[in-house]
Amino acid sequence: MPFPSASLAERLMPALFVIIWATGFVVARLVAPHAEPFTFLFIRYCLTIALLGSLCLAAGAPWPQTRRAWGEGLVAGVLLHGVYLGGVFWSVRQGLPAGIAALIAGMQPLLTAALAAPLIGERVSPRRWLGIVTGFAGALLVLVPKLGGVGGLSPAAVLACTLGMVSITMGTFWQKRTGSAVDLRTNAVVQFIGAALVTLPAMLLGGEVRFDPVPAALAGLAWAVVVLSIGGILLLMHLIRRGAVAGVASLLYLVPPVSAVMAFLLFGESLAPVQMLGMAIAAAGVAIASRA
């Protein structure tokens, strides 16, 4: 009997990544009443830099040796974290419904698949395209009950959210091209430095620097730093390194279904039949895209 090609830990990583990524919506809900978005993001980045940087120093992890390597990590951080999270948080702050924001973000796997060939020469097979389109349809069904209030949307908010989606897509390609030989731990620290540098002026120019140190905000911040920023990002970079970017991006279709289940369990939000159908379709799409 042949041994499996990947260890159990490797097989569990995609599922663990989806669960961790989905908790970001829970954190956002906990923290929103108590902090200005850019202030929260800047504090999150700085604490992540301090904590993960200290762990890297203690472990003797290798740091980038050239200016180019540092620059590549900073650019990745601006794209993957700074512009993406800043755009999404700002758009929601400006009144963009969470369902619309999630729908725009859900376009990322489609954009990733469309750009994979021209940008990095990665061919997306018809089967993977089928999985990506199926996953999008399932995610859309999950989000249908949350798409109310679409009238009078702010063009600036829609543009900011779209810019964030494009940014994380470009950041994924950039990481695939430049991060194949770097240490993931120290590279993540450099990325968060880039994210902090681009978030600081946004925080200072936003007119309100606020973080109320209440238990909910502190708990959300701690989870965002340790689990999302360190665990989730290291998992994402590992998956990008070892897999096709289109396949990795398709995992994001499972985030709305998992987030909906978390909201049901933690906040008592309802789960409509159409959402449960969408969960099954999204899971099937991701399975098709991943096996391709």
- Using one digit for the tens of pLDDT, what is the confidence trace for 264-276? 888 777 778 888 8
Q: Is residue 31 part of a domain?
A: yes
**Which run of H or E residues covers position 131?**
helix 126-143
Residue 251 has a pLDDT of 86
How far are the Cα atoms of 49, 187, 205 from residue 175, in angstroms, in the given order? Answer: 19, 10, 29
Average pLDDT over residues 193-212: 92
> How far apart are alpha carbons 252 and 217 in whole angstroms?
26
Q: Is residue 6 part of a domain?
A: no
Q: Are 279 and 260 in contact (CB under 8 A)?
A: yes
Q: What three-state secondary structure class fits 35?
A: strand
How far are the Cα atoms of 63, 65, 82, 189, 241 from residue 70, in angstroms, in the given order? Answer: 9, 8, 16, 10, 18
Summarised one tens digit per residue, pLDDT across range 224-233 is 999 999 999 9
The winner for highest mean pLDDT among 18-32, 81-95, 99-113, 218-232 is: 218-232
**Which range, of 32-36, 71-75, 200-204, 288-292, averages the lowest pLDDT?**
288-292
Q: Is residue 260 part of a domain?
A: no
Q: Is residue 198 part of a domain?
A: yes
Kindly give, in sequence order, each residue whose CB lies less than 8 Å from that of residue 290, ignoring residues fewer than 6 positions away. Answer: 14, 131, 247, 250, 251
Q: Are 175 and 77 in contact (CB under 8 A)?
A: no
Residue 36 has pLDDT above 50, yes or no: yes
Q: Is residue 156 part of a domain?
A: yes
Q: Is residue 155 part of a domain?
A: yes
Residue 1 has pLDDT above 60, yes or no: no
Give the mean pLDDT of the chain: 87
| Domain extent for 219 | 15-132+149-244
- Phi, psi at residue 234, to the nearest 5°? -65, -40
Residue 181 has a pLDDT of 83
Q: Is residue 221 part of a domain?
A: yes
Q: Is residue 222 part of a domain?
A: yes
Q: Number of folded domains in the chain?
A: 1
